[in-house]
């Protein structure tokens, strides 16, 4: 019997790399879309083995870009995958305010390019499609917790682009019978998280303090609350969603929420430091309660024109229908990330904007 095949867009990212490994372990033939960059960056995949087309084992990477419909059409008609996981995105919310048109091109029009390519290749009835939707789409919905019925109120170009892709996916499901599903995932983190997201930025800063290379950690809004889970558990549910007979959309999260302030405190506690907060607003500072060393300061650069204040999932549908439940709690997640960054202090010159 020939192996099932999967095409992952965004395979070089946090989720893409975990998903690639998960599918390889299940015996899939895994294909990935990679874009051309001046400095190759496939470290997250290197240990899984890469192969040239035609050989066996490992992952096949295809050059293409979400902004380039000709490459997307070519890859889909050549690979004709059983499953597509559309994870590629300009995924940084604050950056999306600076690159709104580009973000929309990659995230929204890029998704439509894939959906249209499925029609062009006449594989709408053969290929299952997973869309990486986001809890950011809820924005400031005003309802806590958020579930599949909560109205969307996006607060950033990123969230608007994701909502466009979400509805395009639903439209193809309803209009063309495509087996298309959206996972509305709440924040999920790991040692592979890009250092420009707040959790990894914090855990890397803590690791540097431990190595006596600490520099004041500059953060934006400390009060924003997120439902943070552990990424490897979240890619497993992407696969489970595509194995359902009837395509559908699911909220995926832990059901618990913490503030950026609490995450920061937990991360420093993981190395035995207590933070004492002094001052208010942009003058607020976090100092080491025993030594008085300045650990955290506020930098308005990290504020967003419009913020999402409170995200907390109600994952009851996923628990009931997919038998999926997040198992890693926030304390353990913080410890995993801090420990990994202490073990790998070799990346000091990273732009953390």
- Is 136 one of the binding residues for ligand GDD (CB under 6 A)? yes
Q: Is residue 186 part of the contact set for ligand GDD (CB under 6 A)?
A: yes
Structure tokens, 172:
């193809």
295 lies in the site for ligand GDD, by CB under 6 A: no
Rounded least distance, CB 188 to ligand NAP, Å: 5
Alpha helix (H) residue ranges in 197-329: 198-210, 231-243, 260-269, 316-322
Burial class (CB in 10 A: 0-12, 13-18, 19+), 243: exposed
Structure tokens at 23: 């599918």
> What is the pattern of x (binds ligand NAP, CB under 6 A) and - over residues 177-216?
--------x-xx-----x----------------------
- Interatomic CA distance for residues 108 and 88, integer angstroms: 11
Reading the block at residue 287, the tokens are 């100092």
Q: What's CA 196's distance to the chain center, in Å? A: 12
Shortest distance (Å) from residue 49 CB to ligand GDD: 27
30, 61, 84, 106: which one contacts ligand NAP (CB under 6 A)?
A: 106
Report if residue 88 touches ligand NAP, rule: CB under 6 A: yes
Among 5, 6, 7, 15, which residue sits at the site for ligand NAP (rule: CB under 6 A)?
A: 15
Task: Please identify which residue in 5, 12, 91, 150 interacts with ligand GDD, judged by CB under 6 A.
Answer: 91
Q: Are 275 and 288 in contact (CB under 8 A)?
A: yes
When binding is defined by CB under 6 A, the residue of 65, 233, 249, 341 that contacts ligand NAP is: 65
* CB of residue 187 to ligand NAP, shortest distance in Å: 4
Give the Å distances, CA to CA, from 19 to 70, 215, 233, 241, 296.
Answer: 25, 34, 10, 13, 34
- Closer Cβ to ligand NAP, 89 or 275, answer by number: 89
Helix axes 110-120, 157-176, angle to 10 degrees: 20
Q: Is 139 in the site for ligand NAP (CB under 6 A)?
A: no
Find out whether the peptide bond into 75 is cis, omega within 30 degrees of 0. Answer: no
Strand (E) or helix (H) holding 133: strand 128-134
x/- mask, ligand GDD, residues 93-132, rule CB under 6 A, reads xx--------------------------------------
The entry of ligand NAP, ligand GDD, none that residue 201 binds, CB within 5 to 8 Å by partner kind: ligand GDD
Q: Which residues bind ligand NAP (CB under 6 A)?
A: 9-16, 33, 35, 37, 41, 65-67, 87-91, 106, 132, 134, 185, 187-188, 194
């Amino acid at each position: 019997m020939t192996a099932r095949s999967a095409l992952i867009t965004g395979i070089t990212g946090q989720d893409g790399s975990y998903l690639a490994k998960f599918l390889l372990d299940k015996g899939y033939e895994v294909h990935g879309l990679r874009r051309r960059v001046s400095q190759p960056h496939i470290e997250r995949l290197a240990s899984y083995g890469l192969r040239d087309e035609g050989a066996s084992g490992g992952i096949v990477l295809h050059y293409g870009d979400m902004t380039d419909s000709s490459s997307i059409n070519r890859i889909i008609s050549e690979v004709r995958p059983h499953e597509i996981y559309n994870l590629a995105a300009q995924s940084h919310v604050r950056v999306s305010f600076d690159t709104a048109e580009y973000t929309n091109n990659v995230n929204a029009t890029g998704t439509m390019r894939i959906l249209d390519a499925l029609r062009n290749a006449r594989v709408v009835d053969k290929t299952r499609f997973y869309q990486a939707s986001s809890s950011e789409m809820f924005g400031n919905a005003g309802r806590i917790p958020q579930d599949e019925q909560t109205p969307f109120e996006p607060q950033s170009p990123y969230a608007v682009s994701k909502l466009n892709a979400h509805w395009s996916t639903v439209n193809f499901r309803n209009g063309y019978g495509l087996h298309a599903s959206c996972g509305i995932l709440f924040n999920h983190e790991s040692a592979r998280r890009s250092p420009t997201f707040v959790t990894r930025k914090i855990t890397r800063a803590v690791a540097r303090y431990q190595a006596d290379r600490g520099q004041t950690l500059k953060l934006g809004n400390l009060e924003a609350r997120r439902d943070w889970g552990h990424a490897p558990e979240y890619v497993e549910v992407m696969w489970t969603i595509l194995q359902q007979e009837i395509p559908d959309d699911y909220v995926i999260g832990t059901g618990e929420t913490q503030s950026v302030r609490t995450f920061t405190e937990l991360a420093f506690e993981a190395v035995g430091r207590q933070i004492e907060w002094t001052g208010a607003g942009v003058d607020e500072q976090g100092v080491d309660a025993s030594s008085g060393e300045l650990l955290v300061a506020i930098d308005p650069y990290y504020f967003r024109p419009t913020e999402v204040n409170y995200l907390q999932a109600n994952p009851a549908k996923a628990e009931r229908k997919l038998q999926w439940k997040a198992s890693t709690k926030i304390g353990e997640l913080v410890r995993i990330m801090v420990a990994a960054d202490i073990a790998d202090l070799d990346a000091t010159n990273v732009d953390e904007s």
